[in-house]
Structure 1
Amino acid sequence: MSVSTPAPRLQLRGVPSDREMDAFCVQYAPRAPGHPAVRDLLRLLSEVPDDGLEPRLEWVERWIHWMRDRIPAQGLTDADDLALSPSNSRLSLLVRVLEGEGALRASVTRLVAGVCASSRGLKLFAQVGLSAGNGFFSELTDRLVRGVLPAPPEPGKLSELLLRLFPVPEDAEWLGTLSPLLLARLTALVGDPPPPEPTPSSRVRGDLMDALVLLGVQVTGLGLAEDVRDRTPDMSFRASPFLRLRMVGDAVLARDGAQESLADLLRVVEDCRGVVRTVTQHLEDFGVSVDLVYRLECIQRGLDRMEAIARVLGSPRGEPRWREALALLSDLLRLAHADRSVRALVRRNARLLARKIIERTGNTGEHDITSTQAGFHQMVHSAAGGGLLIAFATALRFFLMGLPLAPFFAGLFVAFNYAGGFVLMQLLGFTLATKQPSMTASTLAAAVGEDTGPDSGPRRMERLAELVPRVTRSQLAAILGNLGCVLPVAVAFALGFQALRGHTFLSQEQARDVVATLHPWKSATLLYAVLTGVLLWMSSVAAGWFENFVVYRRLPEALAHHPVLRALVGVKGARKVADALERHAAGVGGSITLGVLLAVAPGVGSFFGIPLDVRHVTFSFGALALAGSALGSSAVMEPGFLAAVAGVLGVGIINFGVSFTLALGVALRARDVPVSQGLRFLGAVFLRFLRNPLPFLIPPRDEPAMGGTQAQVVPLAGPPGH
C-alpha cells in the first residue's frame, strides 16, 4: 500500500547518513522506526550495482537473505497488512519503499532488466526435474562427483541461479508462501525498464514458450515409441494424442500463446495422460519393464510440466499469473534439489525395480490365500506334503555334510538338495510355509494401494477386513501342515534307520551340537533367523522378477508356437509346456534361488571370516526331531532341549516377520503408498484381531465356497455406539 502522506524524496549518495537513515525509518515504518530490517533495506537499496552480472546476482542473494531474515517483523506493515507473514511483511515494506522512491525504483528496475537479459531459462523450465536419458550408474557417478568437486559457475542460467538463491530443499516451502499480490505489485514497479531494453516479462515468456515446444518434441518422441504403441493396439498412429501434442505445440508458438491454443494444449495433454494410464494397466496385466515404466514416468512429468507452463502463460497478468508462477517455481526448486541428490536417485530407481518385482509376486501370492474351510484343509494337506519333503531333505543334508568333500562341492550338493526339494515341492503342488509371507505381502499392499479417490479409505479398509484374516488363516494352515508332518516323518525316519543299521542316524555328539546351536540365548540362532528371513524375501524378489521376465517376454507364447518343440511333443504338448512354464515360473525361480542362498550364505561368511549360518524353521525343527530321536525320550524333557524347542519357535516368528516386513515395505514403495498409511491400516486390522481373533485363525462355517458368491465384507470398525 502506498504511503498516504507525501514526504521529501531521499537523495542517497553511497552509504546513507544517520539523518537519512532516521528519516527513512520514520517515513516508511513509523510504528517501528528503529527496526533493523528497515535500516538493512535502506543500505541494500543504496548499494544496487549499476553494471555486471555477477555483482547484480550477489545483490539479489543479499535481497533474498534480507527477505528470509528471522528477526521478527512486528511494526513493518500498515494496519491493513497486520496478518502478513514475516517474509511478506518485508516484501510489503519493499513495495512501499519502491512506490515512494523513484530513484531507488529506477536502479532496481535496471538491475532486474540486466539480470533477465543476461540469463536463459530454457534449461530451468524444460530440463530441471526431467530425465536426461542417462543410465543409473552414469547418473549416480555424476551426482557423486558434483557433490564432492566444486562446480564451475554458470551465472547465465536461471537453473543455477535458482539453486544459488535457494540452496536447501526447504526453501521451496518458503517460496510458496510469498504473496502473489505483493509480487504482482513489485513486478509492476520494476518490470518495465525504459526502451530499448527488453522487459523481463517478455524474456521469461519467451523462455517459457521455448520450453513448451521443446517439451512437446521430447514427450512426442517418447509417446510414439514402438513399445508404447504396441500396448494401445486400438489406436491408430494418426489418432495418437502424442502426435497431436506436437502439432498443438507448434500452433501455440505460431499464435504466441493465444488462450484458445493453450486450451487446446491442455486438452491434448489430458488425452496423452489417458494413453499413459492404458499402457500402465497393460503392464500390470502382462508384465512390467523397468525401462518402459521409467519412460512412462518421464512422459508423465513432461506432461505435468507442460500443463504448469501453459497455466502460467494463460493466466491474466498480475496476481493470478504470479499464483501459477509460484507453484511452478516451488516445484522446480524441489526437483532441482532432487536432481542433485544421490538418495533421491536411489529411491526412485529402487521404486521402479520394486514395481517390476511385486506386480507378479502379488499375483502369485493370491494363490497362497484360502477363503473357505475346504481351502483351509487343502492348505494343511498341501503343507503336510511340503513337511514330508523337508524331513527327507534335512536328513539328506546331514548325510551330505558328513561326506569328505571339498567346500565347493559340499556347498554345491547342499544347494542341489535344498533347491531340488523346493522345486519338487512346487511341481507336486506342496506348500512351504516360509515362502508365503513375501508373496502374500505383495497382495496385501495391492489391497492397500489400489484406490486413490475420496472414498478410498473405507474401500481399502473393507478389502483389508476381508483379506487379512484369509492371509493369517492360510499362514496358520501352512505352518500346521509343515511342522505337523516334519516331526513324525523325521522321527519315523530316524527310528527306521536305527532299526536297519543298528545305530542312530545322528551321533550323540551331532545331536547335542544341534540342540546347542538352537538355544535361543546361548547361541546366535535368532540372529541367523533374521538372515534367513532376508534370504526368504530375496527368493521372493527373484520369483517375482523371473515370472515378470517370462510374462513380459511372452516366453510361454513363444514356446507354444516353437517349431522344434512342436515337432518333438506335438501342438498340444507344446501348449502344455508353455502353460507349465507360466504356472510354475515364480515357484521354480524362487525355489532355486532360495536353495542356492541357504547353501551359499555360510560359505560366503566363512570366506570373509564372518560366522554366518542359516536357521530355517522347518529345517531346524526337522533337525531337532532327528536330534531328539538320537538322544532318547528322557533327553527331550531336559531344560536344554526345551530351550531349543523355544529357539525353533523364535526362529519361525523371526523368519515370517522379517520376510513379511521387507516384502510389504517394497510392495508399498512400488505402489506409491506411504509407509505410514500402510502401518495405519495394519494397526486397524490388529485392533480388529484383538476384538475378535477367531476369524483370523479359523475360517467361519458360513463363508461361501470358492466360485460362489463373494463373502460379505465386515468393516474394521462398527457404527458409532457399537
Structure 2
Amino acid sequence: MIKTKKQYSVKEVFETHIKGEALLPHNELHLLYDLVRYFRPKRASHTISLLELIGYLQEHPSHCRILSDYIKNLLSNRHFGRMISEVGILQDSSFFYELRKRIMEKFIPFQPEKDTLQYVLNQVFYRASDYIWLEKIDHNEYRSLFELLNFTDIFASEQTSSYGLNQLCNAIGLITQRMSGRSLESDIIYMVPEYGYLESPFLSFEREFEGVRENLLHGEPLQENNINYKQLMVLFRQCQDFVQHAYKNTSKYGITMRVNQGLLRINQQLARVKILIDLLVVNTKKDKIDNTICMALKLIEYNCYKNNIRSFIKESTQTVAYEITQFNASTGEKYITETAKDYFKMLRASLGAGFIVGFLCIFKILFHKVDTSEFGHAFLYSMNYAFGFILIYLTGSALATKQPSMTATTVARVVEEGMKKQSKEEDKHSEFAEFFARLWRSQFIAFVGNVIMAFGVALLLVWGIDKFLGENIVAHSWEKLLSDASPAHSKLILHAAIAGVFLFISGIIAGNVSNNQKHNQIAYRIEEHPFLKRMIGTSKSKKLGLWIAHKYPGIISNFWFGVFMGSTFSIGSFLGLDLDIRHITFVSGNIAMGLYGTHFYLIWSMWIWIFIGLIIVGFINFIVSFGLSIWIAFRSRNIPSPEVFSLIKAVFRHLKKAPMSFIFPPKQKKKLL
C-alpha cells in the first residue's frame, strides 16, 4: 500500500531504502524519487521548507554520507550539454510541427538515453509544475543542504566538476553557433537589410565567447569588471538590437510564420545564453555555490517547461497577430464616424449594402428551387454570398456586421494609449469612452441602414416577381423564413453566433493576406513585371500593383466569408447537426419575403418574436465578432484582461454624462467670428 505524505516521515523514507550502513539493491532512482515525492506539495503554488530534511541529516551523519555518495554517483558524468542548449527552445521553423510535437510529448514524454541528466529529471521531476515549488524554497536552505552533503561546485578543480563546467561552456558555444547560422539565412536578413553589408553581431559574439571559454577552462574566473565580460555584453546587446530591429521592420516588410519562428528561436537562444553566462560570473567565493545551485534549478525548470503549449502559442502568434490586426486597424478607421457628415455618409453606405443584400436574398430563394445536390446548393449559395459581399466591398458600401472585426484593433490602440497616461482612474479611459460612443453610434446607424434597405428591396423584388412574372417565389417557404427569424421557433442565437465567428475569421483572413502581400512585395512585383510594363505601360502597372495591394485582402476576405455563410447549412446537414447562419441584414430581407408570403397576416405574438429576433441577431453578430477580435487585438498588444473592467466603468460614466452621443453625433459648435 502506498502511503500518503501525512502517513510517514523523512525518517521512514530513508529507512525504506537504507539498511544498516548501505542502500538496498533496487532501482537507482527510487530514493531520490521518494524524497522529491515526500516534499512535493499538493499545489505547486504552496511554499515548502527543507528544514526537516536538513535536521534529519544533521542528526544521522551516516545517512547523510550515504545520501551524499548516492547523489554524487547518480549524477556523475551525466551528459547535459545538449539538454541545456535545446530543451525549451524551438527546434523547427514550422509552427504546426512544433505544436504537434509538444502535444504528443504531453501524453507520451520523450525519454532520452539513460546516461543523460535529462533522463534523471524526467523520471524524478516529471510534473510540469515541479519547478514552481522548487523555486519557492529558501535559497539559504539549498546552500545549507549543499554544504551538508559536501557537494562540489562546477568551478572546482576536481575532474567531475570541471566536466560540468566544460559541458556548460560547450552548450553556450553550441547555442552561439546556431544563432550565427540562423541569423545569416536570407529570410532573416531580409527583415534587417541594414545589416546586409555589415558583419553579423552574432559572429562577433561567437568569437568573443570562444576566448572567454578558453580562459574559463584554464582556471581564470569570469568577473563583471573583467574587460572580456564587458565586451561580451556589448556584443550581446548588439545581437538583441538585431532581433528587435527585425521585429520593428515587420510594419514595413510584413512577417510570415516561418520568419517569426526563426526570430523567436533566436530570441529564446539569446535569453538562454544570457542566463548561462551569468551563471559563469564569479565575483565572490559564495557565488560559486550559488551559481551551481541556480544552474541545477534552471535545468529542472527548462525540462519541466519544455512542453508548455500555452506559452508556445502565445509567443509564436503574438507578432503575426499584431501585424494582421494592424491591417484591420487601418481599414477600420473609415467605419468609425465622428461628425454629422460622417454619420450620414455611413447611413448612405449602409443603405447601399442593404440594397445589394435585398437582391442576394431573392437569389438565394431562386437557387433553393434549383434541382441539384446538397453540395450543388452549397456552391450556389456560397457564390451568391461571396460575389455579393465583394460587390458591397468594391462599391464602398458598409455591411454593419463587418465593422466589429475591423474596428477592434483601433479600439485596442486607444486603450493602449489610455493606459500609458499617468492620470486618475476616472480620466485614464475617458478618451476611450468617447471613442466607444462614436463606434456604437456608427454601428447603430449602419444597422439601421442595412435593415431598412434590405427589407424594402427584398419586399419590392418579391412583389415585382409575383406581379409581373406571376409567380410567388415564397409561397412554400414563407413559414420557414419567419420561424428562422424567431428565437422561440429556431436556434437563432446559436446560428447568429456562428455568423459572428465567420465575421471574425474573415477579418483575420484579410489581415493575413495583407501581411503576406507586404512580406512578398506583391505590389512591387506587379509594378516591375516586365510583361505588364510592356503591355499596359509603367504608370498603369504601378496603379494596378497599388490597387491589388489595397483591395485584394478585402476581396479574398469577403469571398471566404461568403463561402462560410453559404456552406454552413450543407455541412451541418452532412454531419447531422443543426448548423446554419443568421445575419441581421439577411434576416431583415427574409422577414420581408416571409411577410409577403403571409400577405402580412400574422398573429401578434409572431410579430413580437420576429422583432425581438432581429434585435438579438444584430447584437449576437456584433458581440461575438467584436469580442473575438478585441481579444486578439488586446493579446497582440499585451493589454491585460482586467483592464476590461476599467473600460466598462468608463463607458458607463460617459453614458450617464451624454447618453444621446451613443445614438446621434453631437452638434458642432459654431465658430465665433
Q: Same fold (TM over 0.5)?
A: yes
Matched residue type, 1:624: I
Aligned to 2:173: 213
- Aligned equivalent of 1:89, options 43, 51, 69: 51
How far is 1:548 from its partner?
1.7
Report the more deviating stretch, 396-405 or 49-58: 49-58
Matched residue type, 1:59: L
Could you tell me whether the CA contact under 8 Å between 1:126 and 1:211 is conserved in 2? yes
- Aligned equivalent of 1:677, options 629, 642, 648: 642
Matches within 5 A, 1:221-370: 221-235=181-195, 237-256=197-216, 258-259=222-223, 260=226, 261-316=228-283, 320=287, 332-340=299-307, 354-355=321-322, 357-370=324-337
Distance in 1 separating the partners of 2:232 and 2:668: 56
How far is 1:224 from its partner?
2.5
SS in 2 for 1:388: helix
Matches within 5 A, 1:516-535: 516-535=483-502
Matches within 5 A, 1:442-453: 442-448=409-415
Aligned to 1:656: 622
Matched residue type, 2:212: V
Cα 1:516/1:336, change in 2 over 3 Å = same
Could you tell me whether the CA contact under 8 Å between 2:94 and 2:258 is conserved in 1? no
C-alpha root-mean-square deviation of aligned residues, in Å?
3.7
Distance in 2 separating the partners of 1:464 and 1:620: 32
SS in 1 for 2:87: coil
Distance in 2 separating the partners of 1:703 and 1:300: 53
Distance in 1 separating the partners of 2:468 and 2:389: 28
Cα 1:677/1:401, change in 2 over 3 Å = same
Distance in 2 separating the partners of 1:331 and 1:393: 61
Could you tell me whether the CA contact under 8 Å between 1:262 and 1:310 is conserved in 2? no
Distance in 1 separating the partners of 2:458 and 2:269: 61
Matches within 5 A, 1:144-183: 145-148=104-107, 154-183=113-142
Aligned to 2:612: 646
Report the more deviating stretch, 208-217 or 143-152: 143-152
Cα 1:452/1:277, change in 2 over 3 Å = farther
Matched residue type, 2:507: S
Aligned to 2:565: 598
Report the more deviating stretch, 354-363 or 696-705: 696-705
Cα 1:65/1:704, change in 2 over 3 Å = farther
TM-score (norm 1): 0.80
Distance in 1 separating the partners of 2:152 and 2:289: 16
Could you tell me whether the CA contact under 8 Å between 1:308 and 1:324 is conserved in 2? no
How far is 1:603 from its partner?
1.5
Report the more deviating stretch, 220-229 or 654-663: 220-229
Aligned to 1:64: 36
1:688 aligns with 2:647: no
Aligned to 1:488: 456
Deviation per residue, 1:392-424 (Å, 9 max, x gap): 221222222223344444332322221111111
Count of residue correspondences = 650
Distance in 2 separating the partners of 1:451 and 1:650: 32
Matched residue type, 1:230: Y
Distance in 2 separating the partners of 1:56 and 1:179: 28
1:583 aligns with 2:523: no
Could you tell me whether the CA contact under 8 Å between 1:532 and 1:614 is conserved in 2? yes
1:469 aligns with 2:437: yes
1:698 aligns with 2:656: no
Distance in 2 separating the partners of 1:48 and 1:393: 89
Aligned to 1:6: none
How far is 1:524 from its partner?
2.0
Deviation per residue, 1:504-528 (Å, 9 max, x gap): 5532x33233112222112222222
State, as a whole percentage, how many aligned pairs show the same letter: 23
- Aligned equivalent of 1:386, options 349, 353, 363: 353
Aligned to 2:446: 478
Distance in 2 separating the partners of 1:212 and 1:237: 27
Aligned to 2:82: 123
Could you tell me whether the CA contact under 8 Å between 1:537 and 1:663 is conserved in 2? yes
Cα 1:188/1:521, change in 2 over 3 Å = same
Deviation per residue, 1:111-157 (Å, 9 max, x gap): 34323323122133211101122745544554455455586563422
Distance in 2 separating the partners of 1:153 and 1:300: 26
Deviation per residue, 1:76-102 (Å, 9 max, x gap): xxxxxxxx975142354257458xx4x
Distance in 2 separating the partners of 1:445 and 1:457: 20
How far is 1:167 from its partner?
2.2
Deviation per residue, 1:353-375 (Å, 9 max, x gap): 64564343333333322333322
Unaligned runs of 5+ in 2: 1-6
Report the more deviating stretch, 139-148 or 42-51: 42-51
Could you tell me whether the CA contact under 8 Å between 1:364 and 1:586 is conserved in 2? no
How far is 1:299 from its partner?
1.1
Aligned to 2:4: none
- Aligned equivalent of 1:204, options 158, 161, 164: 164
Could you tell me whether the CA contact under 8 Å between 2:356 and 2:388 is conserved in 1? yes
Cα 1:475/1:326, change in 2 over 3 Å = farther
Aligned to 1:560: 527
Cα 1:229/1:186, change in 2 over 3 Å = same
Cα 1:332/1:387, change in 2 over 3 Å = farther
Deviation per residue, 1:341-393 (Å, 9 max, x gap): 56665666565764564343333333322333322222221111111111122
Matched residue type, 1:603: S
Aligned to 1:514: 481
Larger relative contact order (Cα-Cα within 8 Å, sequence gap ≥ 6):
2
Could you tell me whether the CA contact under 8 Å between 1:123 and 1:159 is conserved in 2? no
Distance in 2 separating the partners of 1:262 and 1:348: 30
TM-score (norm 2): 0.86
Cα 1:325/1:531, change in 2 over 3 Å = farther
Cα 1:555/1:612, change in 2 over 3 Å = same
How far is 1:432 from its partner?
0.7
Larger radius of gyration: 1
Could you tell me whether the CA contact under 8 Å between 2:433 and 2:651 is conserved in 1? no
Distance in 1 separating the partners of 2:417 and 2:302: 26
Matched residue type, 1:375: D
Distance in 1 separating the partners of 2:66 and 2:354: 85
Matched residue type, 1:231: M
Distance in 1 separating the partners of 2:348 and 2:430: 30
